[in-house]
A and B are shown apart, each in its own frame.
Chain A
Amino acid sequence: MPLTGCYSLAMLRESPFHNRVAAANQTSLWSHWSGHLVVDKYQSSEKFEYVSIRNAVAMFDSSPLYKYRIVGPDAERFLGGVLARDIRTCRPGEAQYTIWCDDRGYVNEDGVVFRHGPGEFLLTAAEPNLAYFQDLVGGLAVEVTEVTYDYATLAVQGPRSRAVLGELAPEINSLGYFEHTAAKIRGVPVTISRTGFTGDLGFEIFAASDEASVIWDAVAEAGAPHGIVPFGQTALLIARIEAGLLLINVDFEASRLAENDEHRSTPLELGLGWMLKGIDDDSRPFIGRRAIRRERADGTSRWKMTGLMVDPFDYDRKFTAAGMVPPKDHTPVSGDMMVYDDDGQRVGYATSFVYSPVLQRHIALARIRPDLATTGTRAFLEFTINHRYEQVAAEVTHTPFFAPERKTSMP
């Protein structure tokens, strides 16, 4: 009997690293990311993978990220008009974490843009954006092409990542935070950037898709004496909350696909105001700029994204009093958790929550009423304990929660 019920004529994609990933995946558990088969955890303890990110070195297949090549004499002008962060300050060999907004000043998406030359950029994104970008080209001399499947990308993250990659490509020893360089690994041309989604010292390798296995093997072998392990989505998501890095469809939604304004966020509301340097400068007319200026002038931001750190004593007390062992689960929780003030008024909601092993605290990324979003303000986070809502004390904390010196320092 023919199999039926998979209503797509396209096959689910396999990452360029799939052969290696499949061999390394000891759990037989798979999930889907942008139509690719990906691993949640390679071994039974995803926490060990996380520990390796924070204390040793670990590697992550990030190939499913969408990638766009933006090339042409007007490339800088084009991106200057699309991206909220000033692309002119990104020199060749540098990269920027950035966002793009709609004309109402709501965030569409975020990504990292790598500048390879005066008129040559590569932009990563979590969701498909080709049509969106191409529609904005107008009469500019710039070409936007989708190159998602051309590249195998491997993130190598953790305190020992420099030692491991440095053996393969010594060029990376002099890479500053958010810089990138061309290099060769076992003869394969690659670009290596000092970037990642873990908030730790780390690098990402871009190689041609058909060279993926060479790169995986080289990193695995160089990393073996340092205890390298591959890590899956779960470990990544623990690390990214600690690093205060936002995740689309968890901490915010793309404005152009959102149901209503409750599901939209401005850069200021997401705590990304630091990206907006020069917004008052008319030489940088990016999409959404006027609305954001107005929001700032009128103080109409509804929320401010910030960190919440749960009071460990109150947490333990509430669970213990309920006859439970206070859970300290490192599995990230997404979904709204309400935040209240001293008077029991709802003042915001958390979108990501996790027990941080490295901080030994429960932490959350939350939107709080802007007037309360100052470090040290007390708030209460709502939990379900014994099937009842309970509020546990927490404190507004700036992000990143965890930012080791090694993340940005030079050797």
Chain B
Amino acid sequence: MTDSSALQDGVTTPTVDAGSREFDAIVIGGGHNGLVNASYLAKSGLRTLIVERRDFVGGAAITEELRPGFKFTTFSYALSLLRPNIIHDLGLVKHGFMPLLMPASFCPMENGDALVMGTDRNENIIEIARHSQHDADAYDQYSHDIEMVVRAVKPLFDKAPPDLFATSPDGVAELAELAQHLRGVDKGVLHNLVRLLTGSAADFLDDYFESDILKGYLASSGIIGTKVGPMSQGSGLVLLFHGMGEHDGSLGSWAFHKGGNGEFTQVLARAAQSFGAQIKLGTEVDRVITSNGRATGIALADGTELSAKVIVSAADPRRTFTKFVDPRELPADLVDALRRYRYQGTSSKVNFALDGLPTYPSLGERTDMFRGFTNIAPTMEYLERAFDEAKYGWYSTRPYIDGAIQSTIDPDMAPPGKHVMSCFIHYTPYELRGSDWPTEREHMADNVQATLESFFPGFSDLVLQREIVTPLDIETVAGLPEGNIFHGEFFAPQMYFFRPAPGWSQYRTPIEGYYQCGSGTHPGGCVSGGPGWLASQRILRDLATA
């Protein structure tokens, strides 16, 4: 962590007594959005408490030392979508915020060749040209076109969605502002936006490229975390979503936070505490206490009651609306929408402790290509076939793997000379047909390891330990329903105006004083912090006008 005095502004205003039962605001859940939300509330002067069920903060963004010296990013494993204003608003750098560049993307092919993309445009052009001269040129155009769409969407991404059903003058004005923004967008850009929001990643990519490996690489961003294949309608939206991030101003780039995303959430916790927020760990919330349609506090599982005029749930919509409060207190249309809200997690993690770096036969002793994502998706068809099995309730025999040997970027992740490899796996549907995850988890991981072995002969000999995280584990350990990493699918009917439900996209709930700030709200998951930040702005405005 830096102690650069240039960044110290000495904000430490502990305003909460340990043991106090009265607060201005209580945030349920110490994941990244809960921590972001609480930080903004505490910064504005509210006596803020964060209650976290587990014995550490981080939610699904944690780093665990499962073997001495080996640090595993159990769930979430990289950073890109984090809204840049949060870094500066919360002074995260002085608390240790440190995204590390991943200079390479490595895409092995079934024929032993590979596509290795770096940070140098001209090198990328000649590398793509090895696979297709046509695509080398098209890549610039594709990147530019995506960038233009991202820029058109960004103002909407960083703002609470207007209420489509608003009748108040403010609400109508917000809708008019949206319409005006869209009218200002170039025709071609708007058309691309609609094609991405409604179409498939495959259709969009086919318009530009002919190379299987390049399309396999790019299409991977169209499936992450979502139960779609690259040829499914809706994968375009996922592709666009993953392009919304940036690393140091480079749109669509990903970084590895020093120490993993678990260290990132530790940074957030330190920021929250520096603003005076208190964090209560190992504290399970039973319910939100309401009185006359208004939230007045929370009851903990041990029976303790804590009071506050603002209660914020950073949990997913299911727990927010059906566990912490009684669905019978909610409007029927909301309950119905939530019942139909799709989770259907399809992602797993298999994380490895490795005795050394794998090698790729055609690259000899080279290992620099591992300094970033290793993307096992040689073709779009490979991805689609992996999806086929998931459609019928089974996990992929040859899975998609988004691998990252993070210790090549951050040596503190593993002992000298040793490595950790995070592998994000698709497709592993939450509901298995005719079996269950306790039965299948090892077989699933065997498929992953066999796939890696097929690309990196000798891989298995390097494995010192493996950690298996199925959708069921994501649900039971991190609390995310059905193991959906985004608190709900990135499907158009579950985004923007409709996230998590029509009429409830502005962080409020039907219970006055009870708010939602999890990834099940706009703009969604992917460690953006956007929901936590935008919800805090809603809460502070409501308090100001109350």
> Is the C-beta of B120 less than 8 angstroms from some C-beta in chain A?
yes
Query: Are B103 and A47 touching (Cβ within 8 A)?
Result: yes
Within the complex, the shortest CB–CB distance from B346 to chain A, in Å, comes to: 33
Can you list, as one digit per residue, whether each of A220-247 has a CB less than 8 Å from chain B (1) or not (0)?
Answer: 0000111100000000000000000000
Which residues of A21-72 are within 8 A (CB) of B?
43-45, 47-48, 51, 54-56
Which residues of A356-373 are within 8 A (CB) of B?
357-361
With A226-B411, A227-B411, A360-B88 in contact, is A44–B93 under 8 Å at CB? no
Query: Are B3 and A45 touching (Cβ within 8 A)?
Result: no
Query: Are B248 and A405 touching (Cβ within 8 A)?
Result: no
> Is the C-beta of A312 less than 8 angstroms from some C-beta in chain B?
yes
> Is the C-beta of B125 less than 8 angstroms from some C-beta in chain A?
no
In-complex Cβ contact of A45 among B84, B103, B151 (8 A): B103
> Is the C-beta of B231 less than 8 angstroms from some C-beta in chain A?
no
In-complex Cβ contact of A359 among B7, B101, B251, B416 (8 A): B7
C-alpha gap A212/B218 in the complex (Å): 45
> Is the C-beta of B147 less than 8 angstroms from some C-beta in chain A?
yes
Within the complex, the shortest CB–CB distance from B78 to chain A, in Å, comes to: 15
Closest residue to B418 on the A side, CB-wise?
A225
> Is the C-beta of B85 less than 8 angstroms from some C-beta in chain A?
yes
Report A-chain residues with C-beta under 8 Å of the C-beta of B250.
328
Query: Are B4 and A400 touching (Cβ within 8 A)?
Result: yes
Can you list, as one digit per residue, whether each of A152-190 has a CB less than 8 Å from chain B (1) or not (0)?
Answer: 000000001001000000000000000000000000000
Which residues of B244-276 are within 8 A (CB) of A?
248-251, 258
> Is the C-beta of A397 less than 8 angstroms from some C-beta in chain B?
yes
Closest residue to B5 on the A side, CB-wise?
A403
With A44-B120, A307-B6, A401-B4 in contact, is A359–B93 under 8 Å at CB? yes
Which residues of B147-205 are within 8 A (CB) of A?
147, 151
Query: Are A225 and B118 touching (Cβ within 8 A)?
Result: no
With A226-B416, A326-B249, A330-B248 in contact, is A402–B84 under 8 Å at CB? no
Can you list, as one digit per residue, whether each of B403-431 has a CB less than 8 Å from chain A (1) or not (0)?
Answer: 00001111110001100000000000000
> Is the C-beta of B138 less than 8 angstroms from some C-beta in chain A?
no
C-alpha gap A353/B426 in the complex (Å): 44
C-alpha gap A30/B40 in the complex (Å): 48
Query: Are B101 and A51 touching (Cβ within 8 A)?
Result: yes
Report B-chain residues with C-beta under 8 Å of the C-beta of A316.
84
C-alpha gap A227/B413 in the complex (Å): 12
Report B-chain residues with C-beta under 8 Å of the C-beta of A357.
99, 101, 248
Can you list, as one digit per residue, whether each of B385-414 has a CB less than 8 Å from chain A (1) or not (0)?
Answer: 000000000000000000000011111100
C-alpha gap A316/B249 in the complex (Å): 10
Report B-chain residues with C-beta under 8 Å of the C-beta of A312.
84, 88
> Is the C-beta of A2 less than 8 angstroms from some C-beta in chain B?
no
> Is the C-beta of B477 less than 8 angstroms from some C-beta in chain A?
no
Report B-chain residues with C-beta under 8 Å of the C-beta of A326.
249
With A45-B119, A225-B416, A404-B4 in contact, is A325–B151 under 8 Å at CB? yes
Query: Are A404 and B2 touching (Cβ within 8 A)?
Result: yes
> Is the C-beta of B98 less than 8 angstroms from some C-beta in chain A?
yes
> Is the C-beta of A355 less than 8 angstroms from some C-beta in chain B?
yes
C-alpha gap A403/B8 in the complex (Å): 12
Query: Are A47 and B84 touching (Cβ within 8 A)?
Result: no
C-alpha gap A329/B119 in the complex (Å): 13
C-alpha gap A402/B2 in the complex (Å): 7
Contact count band on A: 35 or more
Closest residue to B9 on the A side, CB-wise?
A376
With A45-B118, A55-B258, A56-B411 in contact, is A404–B3 under 8 Å at CB? yes
> Is the C-beta of B123 less than 8 angstroms from some C-beta in chain A?
yes
Report A-chain residues with C-beta under 8 Å of the C-beta of B97.
360
> Is the C-beta of B87 less than 8 angstroms from some C-beta in chain A?
yes
In-complex Cβ contact of A48 among B99, B147, B151, B371 (8 A): B371
Query: Are B120 and A45 touching (Cβ within 8 A)?
Result: yes
Which residues of A287-313 are within 8 A (CB) of B?
307, 309, 312-313
C-alpha gap A405/B1 in the complex (Å): 9
Closest residue to B258 on the A side, CB-wise?
A55
Report A-chain residues with C-beta under 8 Å of the C-beta of B3.
403-405
Report B-chain residues with C-beta under 8 Å of the C-beta of A45.
101, 103, 118-120
Contact count band on B: 35 or more
> Is the C-beta of B100 less than 8 angstroms from some C-beta in chain A?
yes
Total A-B pairs, Cβ < 8 A: 97
Which residues of B65-119 are within 8 A (CB) of A?
84-85, 87-88, 92-93, 97-101, 103, 118-119
Closest residue to B4 on the A side, CB-wise?
A402
C-alpha gap A361/B84 in the complex (Å): 11
Report A-chain residues with C-beta under 8 Å of the C-beta of B302.
none
With A45-B103, A48-B103, A358-B98 in contact, is A309–B6 under 8 Å at CB? yes
> Is the C-beta of B55 less than 8 angstroms from some C-beta in chain A?
no
> Is the C-beta of B368 less than 8 angstroms from some C-beta in chain A?
yes
Can you list, as one digit per residue, whether each of A251-273 has a CB less than 8 Å from chain B (1) or not (0)?
Answer: 00000000000000000000000
C-alpha gap A28/B193 in the complex (Å): 41
Closest residue to B151 on the A side, CB-wise?
A325
C-alpha gap A258/B409 in the complex (Å): 44
In-complex Cβ contact of A325 among B88, B101, B147, B368 (8 A): B147
Within the complex, the shortest CB–CB distance from A25 to chain B, in Å, comes to: 14
Report B-chain residues with C-beta under 8 Å of the C-beta of A56.
410-411
With A325-B249, A401-B6 in contact, is A55–B93 under 8 Å at CB? no
Query: Are B85 and A313 touching (Cβ within 8 A)?
Result: yes
C-alpha gap A80/B380 in the complex (Å): 72
Report B-chain residues with C-beta under 8 Å of the C-beta of A325.
147, 151, 249, 251
C-alpha gap A342/B344 in the complex (Å): 56
> Is the C-beta of A13 less than 8 angstroms from some C-beta in chain B?
no
Report B-chain residues with C-beta under 8 Å of the C-beta of A309.
6
C-alpha gap A399/B7 in the complex (Å): 11
Report A-chain residues with C-beta under 8 Å of the C-beta of B92.
360
In-complex Cβ contact of A43 among B84, B249, B368 (8 A): B368
C-alpha gap A32/B411 in the complex (Å): 32
Query: Are A55 and B417 touching (Cβ within 8 A)?
Result: no
With A47-B119, A313-B85 in contact, is A328–B248 under 8 Å at CB? yes
Closest residue to A50 on the B side, CB-wise?
B101
Report B-chain residues with C-beta under 8 Å of the C-beta of A77.
none
Query: Are B101 and A47 touching (Cβ within 8 A)?
Result: yes
Report A-chain residues with C-beta under 8 Å of the C-beta of B99.
357
> Is the C-beta of A398 less than 8 angstroms from some C-beta in chain B?
yes
Report B-chain residues with C-beta under 8 Å of the C-beta of A47.
101, 103, 119
Query: Are B6 and A397 touching (Cβ within 8 A)?
Result: yes
Query: Are B249 and A329 touching (Cβ within 8 A)?
Result: yes
C-alpha gap A48/B417 in the complex (Å): 19
Query: Are B101 and A48 touching (Cβ within 8 A)?
Result: yes
> Is the C-beta of A5 less than 8 angstroms from some C-beta in chain B?
no
> Is the C-beta of A327 less than 8 angstroms from some C-beta in chain B?
yes
Closest residue to B123 on the A side, CB-wise?
A44
Within the complex, the shortest CB–CB distance from A216 to chain B, in Å, comes to: 19
Report B-chain residues with C-beta under 8 Å of the C-beta of A226.
411, 416
Other than the given A48-B119, A54-B98, A330-B248, 15 more pairs (CB < 8 A) read A43-B103, A47-B101, A55-B410, A56-B410, A226-B411, A307-B6, A312-B84, A313-B85, A316-B84, A325-B251, A327-B249, A328-B248, A358-B93, A400-B4, A404-B2
6 A–B contacts, CB within 8 A, in A order: A45-B118, A47-B119, A227-B408, A325-B147, A359-B2, A361-B93
- Interface positions of A (Cβ within 8 A of B): 43-45, 47-48, 51, 54-56, 160, 163, 224-227, 307, 309, 312-313, 316, 325-330, 355, 357-361, 397-405
